[in-house]
Amino acid sequence: MKKKDLIEQLVSEIETGKVRTLGIYGHGASGKSTFAQELYQALDAEKANLLETDPYITSGRYLVVPKETPDQKVTACLPVAHELASLQRDILALQAGMDVLTIEEPWKASEVLSGAKPTLIVEGMSVGFLPKELFDKTICFYTDEETELERRLGRDTTVRKSEASFVRETHQIRRGQYRRYYQETEKEADVLINQSQNQFQIEKDYLLMNYLIGKDI
């Protein structure tokens, strides 16, 4: 299945009410944000909200370190780096029909998400640490180490104005914490997508598997 086919399938599931709250997550530079934006653009903006979770990542992560690696700062691969209670509160509020004012960040102004919209897409690393019961469906993205580094260099040196040397130096730390703390969240996703070397390979789709089992295929 190609990316456009999955987007078309999701649009159909959303428009028929099968999926009302969708969670999209994955490690940094895995392609989750791009996919979420493409899906959101394919939907009726009058009926769908996109809640990005990056603002729920605490800015003072350097104050806390993993016990096993006291020389490293905490990255977003650890649940302690996320304001999960606040994020869950806002998701539940939107699901209950209440408006939510998003958190303002230097790269994005705050906005009001309308609780009257029936569809909610929640995108970001934080989704991997939230209770799965919050979502009707979850999609997780990942890449190999080389692809992540290549994407980080392209994004962080331009959009986030980071030095290339800093991106390379911190990459191994990020990847190590991903393997230790975040990779295990991938098995909880309904759909798992590998975007290594810029491919788009669906490695797991529980809904499709259940369909095939029901058909005795």
Backbone φ, ψ for residue 10 (5° rounding): -65, -40
Which residue range forms the structural domain that includes residue 90? 3-214
In whole angstroms, what separates CA 78 from the centre of its chain?
A: 14
pLDDT tens digits, one per residue of 40-59? 999 999 999 999 999 999 87
Residues with Cβ within 8 Å of residue 80, at least 6 apart in sequence? 64, 74
Q: What's the number of domains the chain is made of?
A: 1
Triad 179, 181, 185: Cα angle to 5°: 90
CB contact burial 97-107 (16+ within 10 A = b; e otherwise): eeebebbeeee
Q: Dihedral sign, CA of 177, 27, 115, 13?
A: negative
> Could you say which DSSP state residue 128 is in?
G
Mean pLDDT in the chain?
89
User: Please, which residues bridge with residue 82 across strands?
Assistant: 57
Reference 135, options 95, 96, 182; nearest CA is 95
Confidence band, pLDDT 50/70/90 cuts, at residue 216: very low
pLDDT tens digits, one per residue of 137-152? 999 999 999 999 999 8
pLDDT exceeding 90 applies to what percent of the chain? Answer: 72
Confidence band, pLDDT 50/70/90 cuts, at residue 68: low
Q: What is the pLDDT of residue 64?
A: 53
Q: Is the pTM of this model over 0.75?
A: yes
CATH number of the structural domain spanning residue 67: 3.40.50.300
